[in-house]
Amino acid sequence: MIDAVNPRVELPAGLVETRAIVLLPGCTLDEAVAPVEVLIEEGLPILSLSPGQRLTPSMLRRVFGRRLLVGTHDLRTPADAQWAVSEQAAFALTLGDDDQLRSELAAAQIPQCPAALTPTEIANAWKQPDAAAVQVVPAGVLGTSYPAQLAALLPDIAVLARGAESVHEVKAWLGAGAVAVCLADRLIGDALHRGDLSALRSRARPIVEATRTRS
Protein backbone atom coordinates (compact mmCIF):
# COMPACT_ATOMS: atom_id res chain seq x y z
CA MET A 1 0.00 0.00 0.00
CA ILE A 2 1.35 3.46 -0.94
CA ASP A 3 0.61 6.47 1.20
CA ALA A 4 0.14 9.90 -0.45
CA VAL A 5 2.54 11.50 2.02
CA ASN A 6 4.93 8.57 2.41
CA PRO A 7 5.57 6.85 -0.97
CA ARG A 8 7.18 3.82 0.66
CA VAL A 9 5.37 0.54 0.12
CA GLU A 10 4.62 -0.88 3.54
CA LEU A 11 5.83 -4.30 4.64
CA PRO A 12 3.04 -6.89 4.89
CA ALA A 13 1.11 -6.71 8.15
CA GLY A 14 1.70 -10.41 8.75
CA LEU A 15 5.45 -9.92 8.62
CA VAL A 16 5.34 -6.99 11.01
CA GLU A 17 3.16 -8.95 13.41
CA THR A 18 5.24 -12.15 13.27
CA ARG A 19 8.58 -10.28 13.47
CA ALA A 20 10.52 -13.08 11.78
CA ILE A 21 11.32 -14.24 8.24
CA VAL A 22 12.66 -17.71 7.53
CA LEU A 23 15.03 -17.78 4.54
CA LEU A 24 14.78 -21.23 3.00
CA PRO A 25 17.91 -22.58 1.28
CA GLY A 26 17.74 -24.37 -2.06
CA CYS A 27 15.43 -27.38 -1.93
CA THR A 28 12.58 -29.11 -3.73
CA LEU A 29 8.91 -28.89 -2.89
CA ASP A 30 8.94 -32.45 -1.58
CA GLU A 31 11.83 -31.61 0.74
CA ALA A 32 10.14 -28.43 1.96
CA VAL A 33 6.57 -29.54 2.70
CA ALA A 34 7.08 -31.23 6.08
CA PRO A 35 9.53 -28.65 7.52
CA VAL A 36 7.37 -25.76 6.32
CA GLU A 37 4.34 -27.34 7.98
CA VAL A 38 6.32 -27.45 11.23
CA LEU A 39 7.35 -23.80 10.87
CA ILE A 40 3.75 -22.73 10.29
CA GLU A 41 2.50 -24.77 13.24
CA GLU A 42 5.15 -23.24 15.50
CA GLY A 43 4.32 -19.66 14.50
CA LEU A 44 6.84 -18.91 11.73
CA PRO A 45 4.68 -18.55 8.60
CA ILE A 46 6.73 -15.86 6.83
CA LEU A 47 9.17 -17.46 4.38
CA SER A 48 11.55 -16.25 1.70
CA LEU A 49 13.12 -17.89 -1.36
CA SER A 50 15.97 -16.76 -3.59
CA PRO A 51 16.08 -16.71 -7.40
CA GLY A 52 17.28 -19.83 -9.15
CA GLN A 53 15.85 -22.31 -6.67
CA ARG A 54 13.80 -25.24 -7.87
CA LEU A 55 11.23 -24.26 -5.27
CA THR A 56 9.24 -21.08 -5.96
CA PRO A 57 6.81 -18.93 -3.97
CA SER A 58 3.89 -19.98 -6.18
CA MET A 59 4.62 -23.67 -5.50
CA LEU A 60 4.47 -23.10 -1.75
CA ARG A 61 1.28 -21.07 -2.02
CA ARG A 62 -0.41 -23.85 -3.99
CA VAL A 63 0.25 -26.24 -1.10
CA PHE A 64 -0.25 -23.98 1.92
CA GLY A 65 -2.50 -21.22 0.62
CA ARG A 66 -3.06 -18.33 3.01
CA ARG A 67 -1.39 -20.12 5.90
CA LEU A 68 1.93 -18.60 4.85
CA LEU A 69 3.39 -15.50 3.25
CA VAL A 70 6.29 -15.89 0.82
CA GLY A 71 8.78 -13.24 -0.21
CA THR A 72 12.15 -13.28 -1.92
CA HIS A 73 15.75 -12.58 -0.92
CA ASP A 74 19.16 -12.05 -2.54
CA LEU A 75 17.75 -10.15 -5.52
CA ARG A 76 20.63 -8.54 -7.42
CA THR A 77 19.54 -7.96 -11.02
CA PRO A 78 16.53 -6.72 -13.00
CA ALA A 79 15.92 -10.34 -14.02
CA ASP A 80 15.71 -11.26 -10.34
CA ALA A 81 13.17 -8.49 -9.82
CA GLN A 82 11.12 -9.69 -12.79
CA TRP A 83 11.12 -13.18 -11.30
CA ALA A 84 9.90 -11.82 -7.95
CA VAL A 85 7.13 -9.90 -9.71
CA SER A 86 6.06 -12.94 -11.73
CA GLU A 87 5.96 -14.99 -8.52
CA GLN A 88 3.88 -12.32 -6.75
CA ALA A 89 6.42 -12.07 -3.95
CA ALA A 90 5.13 -10.49 -0.74
CA PHE A 91 8.42 -8.62 -0.20
CA ALA A 92 11.94 -8.44 -1.62
CA LEU A 93 15.24 -8.43 0.28
CA THR A 94 17.69 -6.97 -2.21
CA LEU A 95 21.48 -6.88 -2.54
CA GLY A 96 23.53 -4.39 -4.52
CA ASP A 97 22.41 -1.06 -5.92
CA ASP A 98 20.67 -1.57 -9.25
CA ASP A 99 18.26 1.20 -10.24
CA GLN A 100 16.31 -0.99 -12.66
CA LEU A 101 15.84 -3.69 -10.04
CA ARG A 102 14.39 -1.10 -7.67
CA SER A 103 12.17 0.33 -10.40
CA GLU A 104 10.78 -3.09 -11.35
CA LEU A 105 9.86 -3.84 -7.75
CA ALA A 106 8.44 -0.37 -7.12
CA ALA A 107 6.25 -0.58 -10.22
CA ALA A 108 4.79 -3.84 -8.90
CA GLN A 109 4.37 -2.30 -5.42
CA ILE A 110 6.50 -5.02 -3.83
CA PRO A 111 8.03 -3.71 -0.59
CA GLN A 112 11.80 -3.83 -0.92
CA CYS A 113 14.54 -3.85 1.68
CA PRO A 114 18.07 -2.91 0.57
CA ALA A 115 21.08 -4.23 2.49
CA ALA A 116 23.56 -2.24 4.59
CA LEU A 117 25.66 -2.62 7.74
CA THR A 118 27.15 0.60 9.10
CA PRO A 119 25.08 3.58 10.28
CA THR A 120 26.15 5.61 7.24
CA GLU A 121 25.25 2.80 4.84
CA ILE A 122 21.91 2.27 6.56
CA ALA A 123 21.06 5.98 6.47
CA ASN A 124 21.92 6.13 2.77
CA ALA A 125 19.86 3.03 1.99
CA TRP A 126 16.88 4.53 3.81
CA LYS A 127 17.08 7.61 1.59
CA GLN A 128 15.82 5.46 -1.26
CA PRO A 129 12.14 6.46 -1.41
CA ASP A 130 11.07 2.91 -2.24
CA ALA A 131 12.81 1.27 0.75
CA ALA A 132 10.26 -0.29 3.11
CA ALA A 133 13.03 -1.15 5.58
CA VAL A 134 16.79 -1.71 5.53
CA GLN A 135 18.36 -5.13 6.02
CA VAL A 136 21.27 -4.99 8.45
CA VAL A 137 23.64 -7.60 6.98
CA PRO A 138 25.44 -9.41 8.56
CA ALA A 139 23.61 -8.38 11.70
CA GLY A 140 25.64 -10.53 14.09
CA VAL A 141 29.09 -9.31 13.16
CA LEU A 142 29.18 -6.24 15.45
CA GLY A 143 27.87 -7.93 18.59
CA THR A 144 24.71 -7.64 20.65
CA SER A 145 25.39 -4.07 21.77
CA TYR A 146 25.14 -2.84 18.16
CA PRO A 147 21.31 -2.97 17.89
CA ALA A 148 20.79 -0.53 20.76
CA GLN A 149 23.62 1.73 19.57
CA LEU A 150 22.17 1.76 16.07
CA ALA A 151 18.68 2.52 17.35
CA ALA A 152 20.04 5.47 19.33
CA LEU A 153 21.78 6.85 16.24
CA LEU A 154 18.99 6.16 13.74
CA PRO A 155 15.74 5.92 15.70
CA ASP A 156 13.42 6.56 12.77
CA ILE A 157 14.74 3.94 10.34
CA ALA A 158 12.97 0.59 9.99
CA VAL A 159 15.48 -2.25 10.01
CA LEU A 160 15.46 -6.01 9.53
CA ALA A 161 18.28 -7.96 11.20
CA ARG A 162 19.74 -10.64 8.95
CA GLY A 163 22.47 -12.93 10.21
CA ALA A 164 21.73 -12.73 13.93
CA GLU A 165 20.07 -16.04 14.74
CA SER A 166 20.75 -16.98 18.34
CA VAL A 167 17.94 -16.32 20.81
CA HIS A 168 20.15 -13.75 22.54
CA GLU A 169 20.76 -11.91 19.26
CA VAL A 170 17.09 -12.07 18.28
CA LYS A 171 16.10 -10.53 21.62
CA ALA A 172 18.74 -7.81 21.26
CA TRP A 173 17.57 -6.75 17.81
CA LEU A 174 13.85 -6.92 18.46
CA GLY A 175 14.31 -5.27 21.84
CA ALA A 176 16.07 -2.39 20.09
CA GLY A 177 13.13 -1.93 17.74
CA ALA A 178 13.98 -3.98 14.66
CA VAL A 179 10.90 -4.74 12.58
CA ALA A 180 11.91 -8.39 12.22
CA VAL A 181 14.78 -10.85 12.21
CA CYS A 182 15.75 -13.08 9.28
CA LEU A 183 16.45 -16.69 10.22
CA ALA A 184 18.27 -19.24 8.07
CA ASP A 185 20.70 -22.14 8.49
CA ARG A 186 20.88 -22.13 12.26
CA LEU A 187 17.12 -22.58 12.53
CA ILE A 188 16.61 -24.91 9.56
CA GLY A 189 19.53 -27.24 10.28
CA ASP A 190 19.12 -30.53 8.39
CA ALA A 191 15.30 -30.41 8.39
CA LEU A 192 15.09 -30.10 4.60
CA HIS A 193 17.13 -33.26 4.14
CA ARG A 194 15.00 -35.72 6.08
CA GLY A 195 16.35 -34.38 9.34
CA ASP A 196 14.71 -34.44 12.74
CA LEU A 197 11.53 -32.35 12.62
CA SER A 198 11.22 -32.53 16.41
CA ALA A 199 14.60 -30.80 16.60
CA LEU A 200 13.31 -28.13 14.23
CA ARG A 201 10.36 -27.55 16.57
CA SER A 202 12.73 -27.30 19.51
CA ARG A 203 14.83 -24.68 17.72
CA ALA A 204 11.78 -22.72 16.57
CA ARG A 205 10.00 -22.41 19.91
CA PRO A 206 12.46 -20.18 21.80
CA ILE A 207 12.78 -17.97 18.72
CA VAL A 208 9.01 -17.57 18.51
CA GLU A 209 8.85 -16.85 22.22
CA ALA A 210 11.46 -14.11 21.73
CA THR A 211 9.48 -12.56 18.86
CA ARG A 212 6.36 -12.43 21.02
CA THR A 213 8.07 -10.58 23.85
CA ARG A 214 7.34 -6.88 23.55
CA SER A 215 9.66 -4.48 25.35
Domains of the chain: total: 1
Q: Confirm if 116 and 142 have CB atoms less than 8 A apart.
A: no
Classify residue 6: in a domain, yes or no: no
Residue 3 lies in a domain: no
Look at residue 1 in the predicted model and tell me its pLDDT. Answer: 39
Q: How far apart are CA 39 and CA 188, in angstroms?
A: 9
On whether residue 8 sits in a domain, the answer given is no
Residue 169 lies in a domain: yes
Could you give the count of Cα atoms lying within 13 Å of 18 in the half-sphere of its Cβ? 24
Q: 7 in a domain, yes or no?
A: no
Is residue 124 one of the residues assigned to a domain?
Answer: yes
Range of the domain at 187: 13-211
| CA pseudo-torsion sign 47, 49, 54, 58 | positive
Give percent above pLDDT 90 in the chain.
Answer: 92
Q: Which pTM was predicted?
A: 0.94
**Residue 51 clears pLDDT 80, i.e. is over it:** yes
Over residues 31-40, mean pLDDT: 98
- pLDDT tens digit string along 151-208? 999 999 999 999 989 999 999 999 999 999 999 999 999 999 988 999 999 999 999 9
